[in-house]
DNA sequence: CGGCCAGAGATTTTT
DNA sequence: TCTCTGGCCG
C-alpha cells in the first residue's frame, strides 16, 4: 500500500513523546519526512555519478534566485531536481530541513525521496518532499486555527462530497437528475482552485448551470464547515490563507525553507502557484520544472499561464531549456513528435536523442477489446519467455479506468501478475469506508457525514429517517449532530421512538468508549477495537463473501500499524490524513505489470508500453471532441503516453468496441493520433479476417479443464506449481519458482501433472 | 419506521 | 459489473 506502507528504518526519528500541541513544526516536518517513504520506483534510478549534460548541470548548479526549467519528456527534469537538491545541500550548505520539494503525486514524492536518500546520507529525511495538498494538510493541522480550521478537521473524500451536493440539491428542490452532482462539484472545485470565493462565484455566474453551482457551493461550504471538514481544494485555499497571514505558520515554514522546488509545474493551478510565491516571496529561491506539452490537467484548473507569469513574477529568473531525451529510442521519439507536432500555437521544441533507432513502433489492429487484451497478455508472456524480460518492464496505459477490466481478465488468464496504480482506490471500498467513518467520528465528533455512515454501518435500528430528523434539528439549532443525538436520547427534540432511542444511545456510548480508548491505544489497536465494537466484525463474519472484505480490513490494520510508534493522541489524525491524501494505493514492491491511466502514468517510464484503445471516442475521448482546447489536451495526453516508452511501444486499436450505453458492439474509427504517425519506422499488424469476435464468441468451448486443490500443475511462465483452490475457469496456484506466491490463472493455461512442489517440500 | 430486495445507472482524466 | 435508490413488506 503505497503511501501507507513504510519501513521504520532509515532516517526516521524516534517517535515524539507528548501531545501534538507540544510538537514543534520542525519536529513535525521531520516526522513527516520519515513518514512518507515509498516502495522502489518502477525503474531503478540511475546510479549517482556525474551523468549530467551541460544544460542539466547549469540548472543543477544555478545558485540562489528563481530558476525555470522547461524541457520535454525524458530530458531529465526530475533528475535535475534531485541533483539540485543534493547540490544545494552539499555545495551551498543548505541544510536539508531548509529544502521543500513539491511533486504532483504522492507517488512521485516517494520516488523523489527514494532518489535523494540514495545520494545524501543521514539527514536526508529532514528534507520536506510532498504534494501541495499534503503540505497544506500538515500546516493546517498545526496552525489552522488561525484561519478557522480546527485542528481535528478531517479531509472529506469524494464520495462525501457527492453526498453533500446531492443533499443540497434535494433540499433546495432542484431535481437531481437535471444537474449532475459530478458536474457541479467540478465547477466548485475549479472555482476554488482559481481562488474564487463563494460570493465571487455567484457574481461571475453567467449561465443557469453556473448559478446553480454557485448556489450549491454556498450550502456545500456551509455543510463542510459545520462538519469540521475540508475538501481537497479547501486544503490549498486555506493553506494559502494561512501562509499569507504571516503568523506562526509562516514563521515556521516560509521562513524556514530557503529553497522551494516544484516538479510538473505545467500542471499547477493558481492556488498552488500563489502558495509557491507566498513561500518564496522573501528570497525568491524557487525552482520550477515543467513541460507545456505535458499539461493534461486543465480540467482540474491547472493553468499554463503560471509558466508565463513566472518570468514576470520573478524578473531575475533564469530559464533553462533541456532538449536531449535520454529515455526513448529514436523511433519512439519520432512517433511522439508526430503526435504533438500539429498542436496549434505550440512553440517548436525540438527534442533529440543519442539513443539507437530501436524497434519500430507497432500499430496493432485487432477485432475487439477481447482480442486487444488477449494480444497484450500473450505478447507479454512471449516477451518474458523469448526476451528474458521481467513483468515490471511492462506497462499498459489507457485513457479510462474502465478499459482495465478486459485487460485484467486476460492477464489473469495468462497468469501474469499486475498492479493497478489508478482507478478505484483501496479506501473507496465499502467495508473500509464504513470502518473509517467510525474512526473519523472518533477523531472529529462534528463530522456529520461520518456520523451518518457510522450509524448505518452496521444497521442498528436507526435509519435514514431518524438521521434526517436529527440533522434537521441540528441545523435549526446550529448544534452538532452528536449533541442533538445525545439530547434526543435524553428525551429532547427530536422525539424518537423508544427502540430508536435505545439504539442511538448504544451507538453514542460506543463512540464515546472508542474516543477515550483512542487516547491510549496505538493506531492499529484502535482499528481493531473499532472493528469489533462497531459490530462490523460480526456483520462481515455473517456475510457470504466476507473473506475478501475481511482481508481488506486486515490491510487497513497493517497500514495503521505503520503509525503505531506515534503518540496515540496524534496517530489517528495523521493516519486519517494520510488515508485521505493517498487513498492507500497498492505497494509496488514486487515484480508486476503496471496498469494505469495516461494521467496516472505521467512522470513514469517503462521499457515496454502498450497503449490500447487508440480510437476516436476513447483517445481523443468522445466528451472532448466538441471543444478545440480539450482536443489539444487529448493530444498532449496521447503524447505523454507515447513518451513513457523506453524501448518498445505498442499502439492498439480495436475495430469494434463495446458501447455500454447501447449495450452493443460498435464500429470504431482509428484515432486521429494514429493517422498522424509517420509511415517510416512504424509496423502495422492486423488480425483482420482471422479472429472476428463473432467467430470467437460462438466457437464451441473447449473441454473445460478442472483441478482439485493439491494437484500438481505446470505453467509456461512460472513452472511447477500446486493448486490451492479452483473454480470452473480459474485456479489459485502456488509456484515454487516465485517463493510460494499464489497466482490466479485461467485453467486453460495450466497443464496437469507438474510436480506439486508443496508436497515435495 | 426500518430492512431488504430488485432494478437502474454508470465511466474521463485525480489530489 | 457493481453500487445506489426506491418501493414494499414486516
Ligand atoms: N544526463 C543523463 N545521462 C543519462 N541518463 C539520463 C540523463 N538525464 C536523464 N537521464 C535518464 O533519462 C530518463 C528520464 O529522466 P527524467 O525522468 O528525469 O525525465 P523527465 O524530464 O522528468 O521526464 P518526464 O517529463 O517524462 O517526467 C531517466 O531514466 C533518467 O535516468
ipTM of the complex: 0.90
Q: Which of A208-222, A233-247, A531-545, A672-686 shows the lowest mean pLDDT across its residues? A: A531-545
Q: Please report how many Cα atoms fall inside a 13 Å half-sphere around the Cα of residue A724, on the Cβ side.
A: 13
Query: Which residue is it, cell 518492464?
Result: A393
For residue A228, the 8-state DSSP code is T
Q: To the nearest whole percent, how much of chain A has pLDDT over 90?
A: 31
Q: Is the CB of A52 under 6 A from ligand 1?
A: yes
**Strands, E assignment, A40-84:** 67-71
In the structure, how far is the CA atom of residue A176 from the C1' atom of nucleotide C6, in angstroms? Answer: 15
Q: Do domains A54-146+236-322 and A334-425+586-686 have the same CATH topology?
A: yes
Nucleotides of B under 7 A from a protein CB: 1-4, 10-15
- The Å distance, Cα A329 to ligand 1 centre, comes to 13
Point out which residues pair with A70 in neighbouring strands: A290, A321
Which of the two residues, A643 and A700, has the higher pLDDT score?
A: A643
Q: How many CB atoms lie within 10 A of CB A485?
A: 28
CA A563 and chain centroid, separation: 21
Q: Which nucleotide is nearest to A430 (CA to C1')?
A: C3
The candidate with the shortest Cα–Cα distance to A458, out of A379, A521, A525, A543, is A543
The class (CATH top level) of A334-425+586-686 is alpha beta
* CA torsion angle A717 A719 A722 A727 (round to 10): 30
In the structure, how far is the CA atom of residue A480 from the C1' atom of nucleotide C9, in angstroms? Answer: 34
**Strands, E assignment, A334-426:** 361-366, 394-398, 418-420
Instruction: Lay out the sheet containing A128-131: strands in order across.
Output: A128-131, A99-103, A259-262, A286-290, A67-71, A318-322
pLDDT score of A132 more than 90: yes
Over residues A330-342, mean pLDDT: 89
C-alpha cell at A634: 487529448
Cα four-point dihedral sign A4, A573, A442, A231: negative
Residue nearest atom 12 in ligand 1 by C-alpha distance: A326
Which residue's C-alpha is at the least distance from the C1' of B13?
Answer: A599
- The Å distance, Cα A612 to ligand 1 centre, comes to 25
What is the pTM assigned to this prediction?
Answer: 0.82
Counting ligand 1 atoms within 8 A of each CB, the residue from A263, A323, A327 with the most, and so the one to mutate, is A327
Architecture of the structural domain at A155-227: Orthogonal Bundle (1.10)
- The Å distance, Cα A75 to ligand 1 centre, comes to 5
Which of the two residues, A537 and A400, has the higher pLDDT score?
A: A400
Q: Please report how many Cα atoms fall inside a 13 Å half-sphere around the Cα of residue A181, on the Cβ side.
A: 15
In the structure, how far is the CA atom of residue A461 from the C1' atom of nucleotide B3, in angstroms? Answer: 9
pLDDT score of A607 more than 80: yes
Residue A240, Cβ density class (10 Å: 0-12 exposed, 13-18 middle, ≥19 buried) = buried
The candidate with the shortest Cα–Cα distance to A68, out of A347, A343, A306, is A306
Place A343 in a pLDDT band, splitting at 50, 70 and 90: low
The candidate with the shortest Cα–Cα distance to A349, out of A391, A293, A395, is A293
- Taking the C-alpha atoms of residue A103 and residue A38, their distance in angstroms, rounded to an integer, is 14
- Taking the C-alpha atoms of residue A677 and residue A693, their distance in angstroms, rounded to an integer, is 27
Q: Which nucleotide is nearest to A105 (CA to C1')?
A: B15
Over residues A185-207, mean pLDDT: 90
Q: Is the CB of A103 under 6 A from ligand 1?
A: no
Over residues A23-42, mean pLDDT: 37
Place A175 in a pLDDT band, splitting at 50, 70 and 90: low
The angle subtended at Cα A449 by Cα A448 and Cα A452, nearest 5°, is 85
* A54-146+236-322 under CATH 3.40.50.300, yes or no: yes
Q: Which nucleotide is nearest to A299 (CA to C1')?
A: B13
- The Å distance, Cα A73 to ligand 1 centre, comes to 8
- Taking the C-alpha atoms of residue A33 and residue A11, their distance in angstroms, rounded to an integer, is 9
Decide if A554 contacts A431 (C-beta within 8 A).
no
Q: Which of A142-151, A457-466, A738-747 shows the lowest mean pLDDT across its residues? A: A738-747
- Taking the C-alpha atoms of residue A654 and residue A688, their distance in angstroms, rounded to an integer, is 10
Domain boundaries, chain A: 54-146+236-322, 155-227, 334-425+586-686, 426-582, 711-752
**CATH, domain A426-582, list 3.30.70.2200, 3.40.50.150, 3.90.70.10, 1.10.486.10:** 1.10.486.10
Q: Is the CB of A73 under 6 A from ligand 1?
A: yes
For residue A385, the 8-state DSSP code is H
In the structure, how far is the CA atom of residue A462 from the C1' atom of nucleotide C5, in angstroms? Answer: 18
Alpha-carbon separation of residue A124 from A95, A118, A127, A254 (angstroms)? 9, 9, 6, 19
Decide if A705 contacts A653 (C-beta within 8 A).
no
Q: Which nucleotide is nearest to A581 (CA to C1')?
A: B15
Select the highest-mean-pLDDT range: A168-177, A205-214, A660-669: A205-214
**DSSP of A136-197:** HHHHHHHHGGGGT--TT-EEPPHHHHHHHHHHHHHHTT--TTTS-HHHHHHHHHHHHHTT--
Strand C contacts (Cβ < 7 A) comprise A 159, 166, 429-430
**CATH, domain A711-752, list 1.20.272, 2.30.30, 3.90.1720, 3.40.50:** 2.30.30
Which of the two residues, A648 and A164, has the higher pLDDT score?
A: A648
Active site residues of A: 77-78, 263-264, 294, 644
Alpha-carbon separation of residue A83 from A37, A50, A86, A93, A501 (angstroms)? 19, 10, 5, 14, 63
In the structure, how far is the CA atom of residue A101 from the C1' atom of nucleotide B11, in angstroms? Answer: 34
Over residues A618-624, mean pLDDT: 88
The minimum-distance atom of ligand 1 relative to the CA of A75 is 21
The predicted structure's pLDDT at residue A548: 73
Q: How many CB atoms lie within 10 A of CB A726?
A: 20
Residue A720: which H helix or E strand, with range? Answer: strand A719-726
Residue nearest atom 26 in ligand 1 by C-alpha distance: A73
- Taking the C-alpha atoms of residue A475 and residue A484, their distance in angstroms, rounded to an integer, is 10
C-alpha cell at A590: 514486487
Point out which residues pair with A597 in neighbouring strands: A398
Select the highest-mean-pLDDT range: A70-74, A247-251, A432-436: A70-74
Over residues A635-646, mean pLDDT: 95
In the structure, how far is the CA atom of residue A169 from the C1' atom of nucleotide B4, in angstroms? Answer: 27
The predicted structure's pLDDT at residue A305: 93
* Burial letters A56-81, b for 16+ CB under 10 A, else e: bbbbbebeeebbbbbbbbbbbbbbbb
- Taking the C-alpha atoms of residue A102 and residue A104, their distance in angstroms, rounded to an integer, is 7
The predicted structure's pLDDT at residue A753: 66
Largest CA distance in chain A: 81
pLDDT score of A504 more than 70: yes
Radius of gyration of chain A from its Cα atoms, rounded to whole angstroms: 27
The candidate with the shortest Cα–Cα distance to A343, out of A269, A396, A401, A291, is A291
Decide if A657 contacts A693 (C-beta within 8 A).
no
pLDDT score of A251 more than 50: yes
The predicted structure's pLDDT at residue A45: 39
Place A686 in a pLDDT band, splitting at 50, 70 and 90: confident
Q: Is the CB of A536 under 6 A from ligand 1?
A: no
Query: Which residue is it, cell 508486476?
Result: A592
Peptide bond into A266 cis (omega under 30): no
Counting ligand 1 atoms within 8 A of each CB, the residue from A74, A596, A637, A641 with the most, and so the one to mutate, is A74
The predicted structure's pLDDT at residue A697: 34
pLDDT score of A704 more than 70: no
- Taking the C-alpha atoms of residue A668 and residue A618, their distance in angstroms, rounded to an integer, is 9
Helix (H, G, I), strand (E, B) or coil at A719: strand
C-alpha cell at A494: 427530536
Which residue's C-alpha is at the least distance from the C1' of B4?
Answer: A459
Amino acid at each position: 500500500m503505497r503511501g501507507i506502507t513504510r519501513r521504520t528504518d532509515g532516517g526516521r526519528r524516534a517517535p515524539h513523546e507528548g501531545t501534538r500541541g507540544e510538537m514543534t513544526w520542525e519536529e513535525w516536518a521531520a516526522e513527516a519526512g520519515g513518514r512518507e517513504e515509498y516502495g522502489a520506483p518502477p525503474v531503478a534510478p540511475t546510479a549517482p555519478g556525474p551523468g549530467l549534460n551541460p544544460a542539466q548541470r547549469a540548472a543543477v548548479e544555478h545558485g540562489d534566485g528563481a530558476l525555470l526549467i522547461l524541457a520535454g519528456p525524458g530530458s531529465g527534469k526530475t533528475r535535475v531536481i534531485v541533483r539540485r537538491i543534493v547540490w544545494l545541500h552539499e555545495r551551498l550548505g543548505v541544510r536539508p530541513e531548509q529544502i521543500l520539494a513539491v511533486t504532483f503525486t504522492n507517488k512521485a514524492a516517494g520516488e523523489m525521496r527514494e532518489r535523494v536518500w540514495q545520494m545524501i546520507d543521514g539527514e536526508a529525511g529532514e528534507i520536506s518532499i510532498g504534494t501541495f495538498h499534503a503540505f497544506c494538510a500538515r500546516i493546517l493541522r498545526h496552525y489552522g486555527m488561525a484561519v478557522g480550521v480546527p485542528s481535528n478537521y478531517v479531509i472529506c473524500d469524494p464520495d462525501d462530497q457527492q453526498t453533500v451536493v446531492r443533499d443540497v440539491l434535494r433540499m433546495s428542490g432542484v431535481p437531481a437528475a437535471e444537474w449532475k452532482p459530478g458536474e457541479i462539484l467540478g465547477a466548485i472545485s475549479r472555482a476554488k482552485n482559481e481562488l474564487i470565493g463563494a460570493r465571487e462565484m455567484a457574481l461571475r455566474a453567467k449561465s443557469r448551470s453556473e448559478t446553480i453551482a454557485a448556489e450549491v457551493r454556498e450550502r456545500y461550504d456551509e455543510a463542510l464547515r459545520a462538519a469540521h471538514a475540508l475538501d481537497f481544494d479547501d486544503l490549498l485555499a486555506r493553506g494559502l490563507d494561512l501562509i499569507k497571514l504571516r503568523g506562526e505558520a509562516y514563521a515556521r515554514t516560509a521562513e524556514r525553507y530557503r529553497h522551494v522546488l516544484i516538479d510538473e509545474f505545467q500542471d499547477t493551478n493558481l492556488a498552488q502557484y500563489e502558495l509557491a510565491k507566498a513561500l518564496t516571496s522573501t528570497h525568491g529561491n524557487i525552482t520550477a520544472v515543467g513541460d507545456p506539452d505535458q499539461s493534461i490537467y486543465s480540467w482540474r484548473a491547472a493553468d499554463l499561464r503560471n509558466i508565463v507569469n513566472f518570468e514576470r513574477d520573478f524578473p531575475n529568473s533564469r530559464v533553462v531549456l533541456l532538449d536531449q531525451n535520454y529515455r526513448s529510442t529514436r523511433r519512439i521519439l519520432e512517433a511522439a513528435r508526430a503526435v504533438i507536432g500539429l498542436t496549434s500555437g505550440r512553440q517548436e521544441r525540438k527534442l533529440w536523442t543519442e539513443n539507437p533507432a530501436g524497434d519500430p513502433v507497432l500499430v496493432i489492429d485487432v477485432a475487439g477489446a477481447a482480442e486487444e487484451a488477449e494480444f497484450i497478455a500473450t505478447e507479454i508472456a512471449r516477451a518474458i519467455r523469448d526476451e528474458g524480460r521481467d513483468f515490471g518492464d511492462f506497462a499498459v496505459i489507457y485513457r479510462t479506468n474502465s478499459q482495465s477490466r478486459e485487460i485484467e481478465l486476460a492477464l489473469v488468464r495468462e497468469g501474469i501478475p499486475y498492479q493497478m496504480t489508478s482507478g478505484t482506490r483501496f479506501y473507496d471500498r465499502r467495508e473500509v469506508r464504513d470502518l473509517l467513518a467510525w474512526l473519523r467520528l472518533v477523531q472529529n465528533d462534528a463530522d456529520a457525514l461520518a456520523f451518518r455512515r457510522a450509524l448505518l454501518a452496521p444497521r442498528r435500528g436507526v435509519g435514514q429517517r431518524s438521521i434526517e430528523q436529527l440533522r434537521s434539528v441540528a441545523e435549526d439549532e446550529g448544534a452538532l449532530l452528536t449533541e442533538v443525538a445525545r439530547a434526543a436520547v435524553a428525551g429532547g427534540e427530536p422525539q424518537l421512538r423508544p427502540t430508536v432511542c435505545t439504539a442511538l444511545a448504544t451507538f453514542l456510548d460506543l463512540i464515546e468508549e472508542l474516543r477515550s480508548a483512542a487516547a491510549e491505544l496505538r493506531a492499529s489497536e484502535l482499528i481493531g477495537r473499532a472493528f469489533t465494537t462497531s459490530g462490523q466484525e460480526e456483520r462481515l463474519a455473517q456475510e457470504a463473501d466476507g473473506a475478501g472484505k475481511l482481508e481488506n480490513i486486515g490491510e487497513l490494520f497493517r497500514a495503521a500499524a505503520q503509525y503505531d510508534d506515534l503518540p496515540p493522541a496524534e496517530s489517528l489524525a495523521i493516519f486519517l490524513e494520510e488515508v485521505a491524501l493517498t487513498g492507500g494505493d497498492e505497494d509496488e514492491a514486487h515484480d508486476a505489470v503496471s496498469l494505469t491511466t495516461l494521467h496516472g502514468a505521467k512522470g513514469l517510464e517503462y521499457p515496454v508500453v502498450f497503449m490500447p484503445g487508440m480510437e476516436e471516442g476513447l483517445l481523443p475521448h468522445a466528451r472532448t471532441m466538441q471543444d478545440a482546447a480539450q482536443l489539444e489536451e487529448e493530444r498532449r495526453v496521447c503524447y505523454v503516453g507515447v513518451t513513457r516508452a523506453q524501448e518498445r511501444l505498442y499502439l492498439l486499436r480495436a475495430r469494434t468496441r463495446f458501447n455500454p450505453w447501447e449495450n452493443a458492439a460498435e464500429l470504431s474509427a482509428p484515432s486521429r493520433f494514429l493517422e498522424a504517425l509517420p509511415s517510416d519506422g512504424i509496423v502495422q499488424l492486423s488480425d483482420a479476417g482471422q479472429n472476428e469476435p463473432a467467430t470467437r464468441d460462438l466457437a464451441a468451448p473447449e473441454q473445460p479443464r478442472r483441478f482439485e486443490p493439491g494437484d500438481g500443475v505446470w505453467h509456461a511462465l512460472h513452472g511447477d506449481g500446486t493448486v490451492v483452490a479452483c473454480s470452473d475457469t480459474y485456479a489459485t496456484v502456488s509456484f515454487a519458482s516465485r517463493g510460494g506466491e499464489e497466482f490466479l490463472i485461467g485453467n486453460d493455461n495450466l497443464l496437469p501433472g507438474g510436480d506439486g512442489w508443496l508436497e515435495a517440500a
